[in-house]
């Protein structure tokens, strides 16, 4: 019996040493003339690693506008009308460069970021010149499409392709969603536009006016005259002045619903190509769900900037944390002797397991996430301290453990609530804290039940 207990303690200590080595040091193997760590790396947030800095300046570009002899604007696609006059006009009029428009721009950009599920960002507006500086997390898949959505004006128009009369614009849109659908020939990424009440009526009229005409021709063997084919009227969908598509409608659409294909793929729904189209669709949807920017902006700066929190700063913080932990461990050993030593070893194993769990559950660690790790370790320390105190009062370790766990659960209730609520947040830093606390609490229960209680049981019997 006694031998079994000692073996069990030694076995658990070996497991803890192994987990600690993996968590703190890693598993290195030879890989292409160098070494590679098999243990998954930490996913770090922008405050620890760096962020994409985007500077949007109010555009000072000019457009060449051509006028005919009557003073009417000649469309860029019209090569027949004689040009009487060409004037360089700025894309942004001076009277539009107002504080109100700058503030509106900042608000619209924030709406677009929210549409794209980017909540962790910093936005600064220079109220003097309308310059907007945005810092975003760097994400290989997402950041570029976010930058694209932010820099476009987002002016959506349905125009008569001949007269260029604006028939519908952003103000007629209720909601736009991006989605992937299956067709007979594969998968398509599309945006679904739902117009509002006014827009639905306008769109119905458009679908009636711009109907697809089937050409009629006469039978040349008869004496009936040839009917001239009606000229096909078409509409153009334009985004920021550029034509996305030109089309007519086969039937009336009274639902106010318009589906536009962004791209299609014949491969499975998970293909890279389809995902790229889907991201474009999401960007378009985010653009159209927010208003058009009141001014045209250009991207003056688009750089990845490393965090000013250096490795040295993090190392100092780590040494301080290790120092405090060492003091706590020394107290446990001095106060509780062998039990204190075993519980201290258990605490180190808990920290190692928590760090591994964070790595493998893809929790992105930000500064507040690091605070979450510290708080989790502190809570575990308080728990084992309470447990040690209780085992001095009650001989039965299992009973002591049950009592401490019961009261601890009650005491931990607010922390559990905070962890769960924060874990549902879309803001990366808050999510980071929530998930770290969540895993800290789960491991607290499971790990202490399996390891710490076993140590105390066997140590007591010794």
Partner 1 sequence: MKKVIIALIACIVVAGIAITCVMGLNYELMYSKNTQFDIYIGKEFQDQEIQDIVHEVIGQDKKVITQKVEIYEDMVTITVPEITTEQIEQINQKINEKYGLDNTIEDIQVVNNTKIRGREMVKPYVLPVAISFIIILIVLTIIYRKLGIMKVLGNVIGYTFLVQALYLSVIALTRVEVNRFTMPIAIALFAMTQLAVVIKLEKKRLTIKEDNNSNN
Alpha-carbon Rg for the chain, nearest whole angstrom, is 33
* 297-336 residues near partner 1, rule: CB under 8 A: 300-301, 303-308, 310
At residue 23, the 3 state secondary structure works out as helix
* Complex with partner 1: residue 185 or 424, whichever CB lies closer: 424
**Which helix H or strand E contains 312, and what residues bound it?**
helix 311-360
Kindly state the smallest distance separating residue 85's Cβ from partner 1, in Å. 35
**Under rule CB under 8 A, how many of the chain's residues touch partner 1?**
48
Provide the 10 A C-beta neighbour count for residue 460: 15
Distance CA 206, CA 77 (A): 22
From the number of C-beta atoms within 10 Å of its C-beta (0-12, 13-18, 19+), residue 211 rates as middle
**Rounded-to-integer distance, Cα 342 and Cα 326, Å:** 14
Choosing from 374, 394, 402, 460, the residue that interacts with partner 1 (CB under 8 A) is 374
| 175 contacts: CB under 8 Å, gap ≥ 6 | 193, 194, 289
180 phi, psi to nearest 5 deg: -120, 130
Is the distance from CB of 261 to CB of 16 less than 8 angstroms?
A: no
Asked if 433 interacts with partner 1 (CB under 8 A), we say yes
Q: Contacts with partner 1 in 242-301 (CB under 8 A)?
A: 300-301
Range in contact with partner 1 (rule: CB under 8 A) among 119-127, 147-155, 283-291, 339-347: 119-127
124 near partner 1, judged by CB under 8 A: yes
375 binds partner 1 (CB under 8 A): yes
Give the interface segment with partner 1, choosing from 125-133, 233-241, 250-258, 273-281 (CB under 8 A): 125-133
CA 12 – CA 444 distance, rounded (Å): 17
Q: Which of residues 395-424 bind partner 1 (CB under 8 A)?
A: 407, 410-415, 417-418, 421-422, 424
385: Cα separation from own chain's centroid:
40
When the beta carbons of 276 and 386 are compared against partner 1, the nearer one is: 386
Judged by beta carbon, residue 348 or residue 367, the one nearer partner 1 is 367
Q: Scanning residues 331 to 370, which ones bind partner 1 (CB under 8 A)?
A: 367-368, 370
Residues that bind partner 1 (CB under 8 A): 47, 50, 53, 55, 119-120, 122, 124-127, 131, 133, 300-301, 303-308, 310, 367-368, 370-371, 374-375, 379, 407, 410-415, 417-418, 421-422, 424-425, 427, 429-430, 433-434, 437
């Amino acid at each position: 019996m006694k031998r079994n207990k000692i073996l069990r303690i030694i076995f658990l200590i070996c497991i803890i040493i192994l987990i600690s080595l993996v968590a703190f040091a890693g598993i290195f193997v030879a890989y292409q003339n160098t070494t590679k760590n098999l243990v998954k790396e930490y996913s770090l947030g922008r405050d620890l690693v760096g962020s994409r800095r985007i500077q949007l300046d109010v555009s000072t570009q000019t457009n060449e506008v051509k006028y005919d002899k009557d003073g009417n604007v000649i469309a860029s696609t019209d090569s027949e009308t004689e040009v009487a006059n060409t004037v360089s006009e700025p894309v942004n009029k001076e009277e539009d460069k107002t504080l109100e428009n700058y503030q509106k721009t900042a608000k619209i950009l924030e709406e677009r970021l929210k549409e794209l599920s980017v909540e962790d960002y910093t936005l600064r507006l220079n109220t003097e010149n309308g310059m907007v500086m945005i810092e975003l997390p760097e994400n290989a898949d997402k950041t570029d499409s976010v930058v694209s959505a932010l820099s476009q004006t987002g002016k959506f128009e349905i125009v008569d392709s001949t007269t260029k009369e604006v028939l519908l614009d952003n103000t007629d849109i209720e909601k736009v969603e991006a989605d992937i659908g299956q067709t007979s020939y594969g998968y398509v990424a599309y945006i679904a536009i739902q117009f509002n009440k006014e827009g639905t009526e306008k769109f119905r009229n458009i679908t009636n006016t711009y109907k697809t005409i089937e050409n009629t021709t006469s039978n040349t063997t008869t004496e009936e005259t040839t009917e001239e084919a009606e000229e096909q009227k078409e509409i153009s969908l334009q985004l920021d002045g550029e034509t996305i598509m030109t089309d007519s409608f086969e039937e009336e659409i009274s639902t106010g619903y318009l589906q536009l294909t962004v791209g299609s793929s014949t491969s499975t729904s998970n293909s890279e190509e389809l995902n790229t189209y889907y991201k474009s669709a999401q960007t378009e949807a985010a653009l159209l769900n927010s208003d058009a920017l009141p001014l045209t902006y250009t991207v003056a700066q688009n750089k990845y900037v490393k965090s000013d929190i250096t490795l040295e700063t993090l190392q100092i913080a780590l040494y301080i944390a290790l120092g405090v932990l060492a003091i706590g461990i020394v107290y446990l050993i001095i106060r509780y002797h062998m039990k204190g030593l075993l519980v201290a070893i258990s605490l180190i194993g808990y920290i190692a397991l928590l760090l591994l769990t964070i790595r493998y559950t893809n929790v992105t660690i930000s500064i507040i996430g690091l605070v979450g790790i510290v708080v989790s370790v502190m809570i575990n320390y308080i728990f084992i301290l309470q447990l040690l105190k209780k085992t001095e009062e009650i001989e039965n370790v299992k009973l002591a453990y049950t009592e401490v766990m019961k009261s601890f659960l009650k005491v931990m209730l607010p922390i559990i609530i905070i962890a769960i609520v924060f874990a549902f947040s879309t803001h990366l830093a808050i999510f980071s804290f929530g998930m770290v606390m969540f895993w800290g609490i789960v491991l607290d229960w499971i790990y202490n039940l399996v390891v710490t209680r076993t140590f105390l049981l066997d140590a007591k019997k010794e």
